[in-house]
Amino acid sequence: MATNAHVTSVEALGAFRSDLIVFHDAATRALDEVASEVNHTRQWIRHEQRTHWEGELRRRQRRLDQAQQDLMSARMSSLRDDTLQQAMVRKARAAFHEAEDKVRAIRHWERNFDLVVDPMLKQMGGLRTVLEHSIPKGVAFLANAQEALEVYSEKFGAPQEPPPAAGPATAQE
């Protein structure tokens, strides 16, 4: 086991410590943003989208009902051509089915959002633990190591650079 350390730059410890602090702050902010976005998305699905598409389903049902009534009226009066009303019914039916699909999708995601997202959030929790506990300990260790090396350097002098290795001499005479 080596008893000597070959430290070439105490400043490198300080620079690494600074970079670690910057990383800690950026990673913490990123995790906070992700958690905020997950909560926002959960609320968006459960409230805004559900309310919107359930209302849209009711509106489209009324339009479909009206288009079907108009078609029946056109068929009863043999004087009018009902192709326009048939097209309107097809369009209203397609819009209604689209809204039904959206409501089904929203209900699916209301039930399954947490099942899909929670495993990923748990992994983020592990990273958050590292950021809250291990990184600050590492920053403190680097600060103490830098301080100890600076005190050592002041007390015993800066380490001397070893002389360059002697190579084969070339004589120019």
Using one digit for the tens of pLDDT, what is the confidence trace for 46-67? 999 999 999 999 999 999 999 9
Q: What is the pLDDT of residues 118-166, one digit of tens each?
A: 999 999 999 999 999 999 999 999 999 999 988 888 888 755 555 556 5
Contact 31, 124 (CB under 8 A): yes
CA distance 93 to 100: 10
Can you give the pLDDT at residue 168? 56
Look at residue 92 in the predicted model and tell me its pLDDT.
95
Instruction: Please tell me the distance from the alpha carbon of residue 7 to that of residue 164, in angstroms, as a whole number.
Output: 18
For residue 169, the model assigns a pLDDT of 52
Tokens at 146, concatenated: 């830098």
Q: What is the mean pLDDT of the chain?
A: 87
Distance CA 62, CA 74 (A): 18
173 pLDDT higher than 60: no
**DSSP readout, the chain?**
---------HHHHHHHHHHHHHHHHHHHHHHHHHHHHHHHHHHIIIIIIHHHHHHHHHHHHHHHHHHHHHHHHHHHSTTS--HHHHHHHHHHHHHHHHHHHHHHHHHHHHHHHHHHHHHHHHHHHHHHHIIIIIHHHHHHHHHHHHHHHHHHHHHH-PPPPPPPPP-------
For 19-41, the pLDDT digits (tens) are: 999 999 999 999 999 999 999 99
Q: Name the pTM for this structure.
A: 0.64
